[in-house]
Structures are given as structure tokens and as C-alpha cells.
Structure 1
Amino acid sequence: MLLAQGFMVRRKAQLLPEPVGARTGRAGSGPLLRVLIAGDSSAAGVGVATQDQALSGAIVAGLAHDFTVDWRLEAATGNTTRDTLNRLRQVEDPFDVAVTALGVNDVTRGRSRAQFMAQQRALLAQLTGPLQARCIVVSGVPQMERFPALPQPLAWVLGQQAARLDAGLQEVAGKFPQAHHLSTDLPDDPALAAPDGYHPGALLYDLWAKQILQVIRDQVRARI
């Protein structure tokens, strides 16, 4: 049944493009803050039309009130933790703040909790080592049982695995003083999802960004 449901979800899935718009830039005024946003399709902003409406746009707009924000988006549809790690190994510029959004593709690709934890540990080591990030917001693995596009019992099964990986993610983040795990406890309202029932819509990106911004402001005051 699960295999059949998975096949039907893939066959009927509405494939939304990544939003148009800049993926690097500078905005605002004040002290310089170098910001990296990295991850999968949710980090890339799938579900909205432009990057201004996406997670990156909301984060940059929020920080630009207090900082000169030098920002960069390194994200792509389908990225797993390992894909993102490989991508960031090609990045040379340092950052003050990093935001990650990963986990859904690790769930659907069958990563075990141990594999996911090892890859996340390597990712955080890359961010805090070569990339010098002093504040990292680690977005929790989404609660996949709440995705409108997923039927039962597939949604429940994927949700259970997502919860296992998220518990591992919290454990890994706890080993890095620069990192803060942010639980994805957002409103359970299908109307906030994108038309595909799988990605956030503009309002959900905005709500998610507000939670991230609060963590960044708290951490920046303490660390930077």
C-alpha cells in the first residue's frame, strides 16, 4: 500500500519551479552581517513566485532594518544533507550567520537516523569551521504527516521517520554551541501551503522567517 501511495503521489505531484530573483545581494544599513541560507526546495523558496516572497527574502528584509546584510542562497530542489554539504565545500566566503533547511529529501531517500546525524554533523563542522559561522539556525525536519499532498497511511509513516531524524538533528545541533535547533511548529492549516500541498506558501514562509529572525537577533546579541 505504501509503495502504491508513493507512486501515485509522485505521478500526480504538481512540480513547482524555484522562484525567480537574486540569490546573492546586499541590503539594509548598519553593522555588516554576512548571511548564508542553505538547503533544499524550501530554502530555495519553492511554492512562491519570487525570492522576495520566499524564506530568503523574508529573512533579508527582516535583518535589513538593523544590519547591512550581505546574503547568499545556496539551495536547490531535491537537495539532501549530503548534497548541501558538497555544495558548501565549494563556497569560500565566510559568514556570520547560517540558516539551514533540510530533512525531507533525507526522509524520502531512506536515510537512517545514524546516516543523517553523521551528515548533519559534517555539515555543521563545515559551517563552523571553513565558513566561520558563529550563529546557525538549524530548521527542524518538517512534520511530514501534516503535508496536505500525502495520503494516509503514507503521511504517518513518513512523519514518524521525519520525527526520528529531527530527534537526531536536535542531538547533533546540541554539540555545537553556535547552533540553535528551531522546531518547525507552524500553524496546521492546509490553506497556508503552496498549491502542490507539499511546500509552504508565502504566508507560511513569512511565519517561518519570523521565528528564524528572533533566534538570529538573540544569538547575534550574544555572539557577534
Structure 2
Amino acid sequence: MLPATPAPDYLALGDSYTIGEAVAADQRWPAVLVQRLRQAGMAIDDPQIIAVTGWTTDELAQGMGEATLTPPYDLVTLQIGVNNQYRGRPADEYRQQFASLLARAMTLADHRAARVVVVSIPDWGVTRFAHEQGRDSTRIASELDRYNAIARDEATRAGAHFVDITGISRQFPLLVADDGLHPAAAQYALWVDAILPVVRTALRPPH
């Protein structure tokens, strides 16, 4: 009898969106992604999440350095940058730090770029929180578009996948948690609708 094939290991890297600020643990999008993969008949381990609300790219890098990581991972997702934009960090700095994080993600995936999935930053400028704070939604959207273009460019250049969920956040601005800022479970589920087919492709065995 052949030994059982181990279930793929999944590492999710990010910030408040990845850790699921203001929703239950089983409603975080990485957790929902695993649930949906299992429903589709794919065995996969629970996600190891390295993410803290408020983290910027450099803080995620530090957090990864302090975490207990057990590579190689069969899937690594990366969603980071909203707090860089929120704090007014320059786009050039974001590119440099994001590219470094992406390179680390690929190393953790055993140098398999196709097993790395970058997820775009949602637009918090459309939320109730932003409106109540009198934020400039047009400027926020423009800056986030620039950040997301950088992330897409770096992912494409590296051979990783990129999933754009920013449009979903703009289309469903009312699907937010009680804090008026972070996505509600229903919005995370819509993100997974977009992320799932890309992840299934990423996990497909090579021919």
C-alpha cells in the first residue's frame, strides 16, 4: 500500500484583512478558502496565518522573522499594503518591500512561484468609516490603485498569481463589519469566489 499523500500546507501572510478583523475566525477569508477547497474534494491543512491588524510591509517582514515557519508550503497567499497607504508611505518604498516579501513567499513555497497567490488591497475609502472620518475617497482610490498596480507587476514578473478583489470591495461597500471599516463575512465570501479558482490552478500538480 502506498503511503498517504500529506495534505498541502498553507501559509497566509497579511494584515487585518487576512486575520479577519471584526469577524469570527472561521469567517476569515483564508479559513473560508480552505473550507471551499475541502468542499470541492481537495485535502488541505488549516491555514497558518501570519498577520496582525495594522501591519505594514516592513512589519509583516519582521513578524515573519519572529514566527515559527515550517517550509516548504504548498500554497502561500500574500495581501499587504493598506497600512502603507493609510500612513502615507511612498509607493517606491512599497515596491521595494513588497518585492522582498514576495521573494520570501516564493522561497517558503520551495521556489515554486506558481504556488504563490497575491491578493489585491481592498478600497477602504468607500466604507462608512472613511465617510464618517471625512476622508478623500478619490485620493484613497488613486493611491490604492497605484499600490495594486505595483503588486500586480511584481507578481507577474515573478511568475506568481494575482487576484484582484478591489472591485468587489468597491461594488459592495455596505458589506462591512460593525466597525464600519473591515469587510463582513459576506464580503470575504465574495473574495473567495474570486480567489478559489486561482488557488485550485496553483495547487494543480504539474504535468
TM-score by length of 1: 0.79
Q: Does 1:60 align with 2:34?
A: yes
Question: What pairs up with 1:88-167 in 2 under 5 angstroms?
Answer: 88-90=64-66, 91-94=68-71, 95-132=73-110, 134=112, 135-151=115-131, 154-167=136-149
Secondary structure at 1:33 match in 2: coil
Cα 1:222–1:174 shift into 2, 3 Å: farther
CA distance in 1, matches of 2:116, 2:21: 22
Question: CA offsets, 1:180-212, max 9 Å, x none?
Answer: 111122162233111222111011111112221
What residue in structure 2 maps to residue 182 of structure 1?
A: 163
Counterpart of 1:171 (choices 108, 128, 153) is: 153
Aligned-residue sequence identity (percent) comes to: 28
Q: Are 1:82 and 2:62 an aligned pair?
A: no
Change (3 A) 1:43 1:120: same
Q: Give, in whole Å, the separation in 2 of the partners of 1:68 and 1:150.
A: 37
Instruction: Give the partner amino acid of 2:99.
Output: R
Q: Is the 8 A contact 1:103 1:142 kept in 2?
A: no
Per-residue CA deviation, residues 118-141 of structure 1 (Å, 9 max, x unaligned), is: 011000111112452631111112
Specify the code of the residue in structure 2 equivalent to 1:62.
R
Match of 2:168, SS state, is: coil
2:10 and 2:108 mapped to 1: Cα distance? Answer: 15
Unaligned stretches of 5+ residues in structure 2: none
Q: Which moved more, 1:104-113 or 1:130-139?
A: 130-139
SS for the counterpart of 1:77 is coil
Residue 194 of structure 2: aligned partner: 211
Count the aligned residue pairs: 194
Maintained 8 Å contact 1:81/1:116: yes
> Which structure's residues are more often helix, by fraction?
2
Q: Which has the higher strand share?
A: 1
Q: Distance in 2 between matches of 1:77 and 1:219?
A: 27
Structure-2 change in CA distance of 1:215 and 1:35 (3 Å): same
Superposition CA RMSD, Å: 2.1
* Aligned-partner SS, 2:26: helix
Task: Structure 1 unaligned segments of length 5 or more: list them.
Answer: 1-28
TM score, norm. by length of structure 2: 0.85
> Structure 1 residues 132, 39: closer, same or farther in 2, change over 3 A?
same
Do the aligned partners of 2:31 and 2:47 also contact (CA within 8 Å) in 1?
no
In the TM superposition, what whole-angstrom CA distance separates every residue of 1:108-166 from its partner, at most 9, and x where no partner exists?
12121110010110001111124526311111122233223213552221221111111
Which amino acid is 2:25 matched to? Q
SS at match of 1:38: strand
